[in-house]
Each structure stands twice: as C-alpha cells, then as structure tokens.
Structure 1
C-alpha cells in the first residue's frame, strides 16, 4: 500500500472514488462534481483542496480529500478532512490508516492546530476506525446546515 499526493493523471479514478463515497453516504443524486471541477479546484496554485490517494497494485483504492481553514482563533490553520473513502475490497488492508497518516503529516507540515471531520450518523465502522487512531468525537459542537439554492450563472 502506497499513499501519495494525487496528480492530475489520477483525476478519473479520483472522481470514481468520490462517486463511491457519494453512493455510500446516499447523496449521489446531488453529486455535481465533474472531471473538470476536480482538475480546476484540486490541482495548481489556486487549488481549493488537496487529495491523497492510496495505491495498491497500480490501482487507486482509496482517497482522502482535505482543505484548510487558514485562520482560526489559535492564529494557526485548521485542516478539515472532507472525504475519506476506501473501496470495499481494500478495507482492512491498511489503506485508511495510511491515508490518515498522510493527512496528519500534511496538517503538521503547515503547523495546523487541529484536524477535524464529520462522521455520518450511524457509521459505527468509521467511528471505531477513528477511535483506533486515537480520535474522539467533539461533544462540544453539533453540525448544523442551511441549504441554499444555486444562483443563476449571470448572478455569480
């Protein structure tokens, strides 16, 4: 198992992994990510996210997608793990742990004060996995959301 930064040549398989997570978490009907959006927002100087991929036998079997909140109350960045997904056939082979180790290393490299993420309600396997890494739920905060309609292209 090898973990590395995703490269533009990985975009098609990375998009498949993102779709796999969307199916698992049941938001595939709202999934709007395209090959072009991954290339535009995940690579280059103005990228909005960083992706790590787990590779086994020349196939990408997992991904971790993170973004950074550059300024917080600690005056240090905060890294947000937005997506972690390993294909079913590669689970329990160390891909998830290797991806998380890469994410932690990345967070430390930018002197982040914290690494945060959310876990889908009822995903006990994920909770157990994260606990095995030494993580614990943040009982101080709960997530809220407000859905906003898309703006017409001319309004953006």
Structure 2
C-alpha cells in the first residue's frame, strides 16, 4: 500500500464535504454541519480562506487536513491553524494522521510560521494521546471563546 498527500482541488469538494461530515459524526456534532459543496467551493477555492490537503491510499482518499493562517503578534510571524484532521476509521493506525501532520509541519516551516496549533475536544483521549506523542503541548491556561452568527450580528449592531 502506498500513501500519498496532495493539495486538494475543486474536484475534491464532494469528498471534502463527506470527510467533514464523517468527522462531525465522530465528534458527535453532525447536527452542526451546515456546509455545502457550494459554500466549500466559495470559501476554500474562490475566496481562499482555507486550504486542504488530501491523504490517499493507493489513489483512494482516506483522510484530510483543513487549515488556514493565523498570526502571532508576540512572534511577529504567521502561524497555521489546523481546523480539521481526519482519517477514515478503517484506515487509522497506519500512520496517516501523523503523515498529514508532518506535511503541515513542512508547510509551516516553508512559510516561516512560528506556530502550528489546533483544538481538540476534552473527551477525545485517543487524539490527545496521539498529539502528545508527537510533542504537542496542551494550552491548559487558555480558554477558547466563540461567537456564532447571532452573537456576531448582535455585537455588530451596537
């Protein structure tokens, strides 16, 4: 079996949506998926808000990583924020997740990024242990805050 990683193209949009949905099911958040093929096309391939790399085993997609740039004022450098990393359940344990993260690290290095960051659900012990095994450290002293569309609208109206 051969594993390869490539940059996603517009032709991958149905596959990307499928993988996002599978990740949401795994995280017990499928009710929150409102993405469509059209919104993915617009935001990833037209407006370039995010990038996607695809992992393939013998030419068949088995995983992906979706990421975008952020910025550290303290470092005065860009960073990469990994929004989603997912490998299909039946293909786990083969090192594909590690390979996708290693590719992101190479991209971060090429782009002179100061950080590679992501969030993980507190209950997701297998992922937490996996990330720690790669040298990632939890940012326990930070709390993520979020506003969704309604809160954004309310605040913008002030």
TM-score (norm 2): 0.88
Q: Among residues 27, 30, 54, which one is paired with 1:28 in the alignment?
A: 30
Match of 1:93 in 2: 94
Report Cα offsets for 1:62-118 as digits up to 9, x if no partner: 011111014533210121110001100100111101100111111111111111111
Match of 1:17 in 2: 19
Report Cα offsets for 1:11-62 as digits up to 9, x if no partner: 1111100110111112211211111111121125x30001111001221110
Match of 1:140 in 2: 141
Q: Which runs of 4+ in 1 moved over 6 A?
A: none
> Is the 1:62–1:87 Cα contact (8 Å) retained in structure 2?
yes
Structure 2 distance, partners of 1:122, 1:32, is 23
Q: Secondary structure at the match of 1:43?
A: helix
Match of 1:105 in 2: 106
> Is the 1:50–1:65 Cα contact (8 Å) retained in structure 2?
yes
State the structure with bigger RCO (CA 8 A, min sep 6), 1 or 2.
1
Query: Which consecutive unaligned segments of at least 5 residues does structure 2 have?
Result: none
Q: Secondary structure at the match of 2:21?
A: helix
Match of 1:4 in 2: 6
Shift in alpha-carbon separation, 1:78–1:60, aligned structure 2, 3 A: same
Question: How many residues align structurally?
Answer: 151
Query: Which consecutive unaligned segments of at least 5 residues does structure 1 have?
Result: none
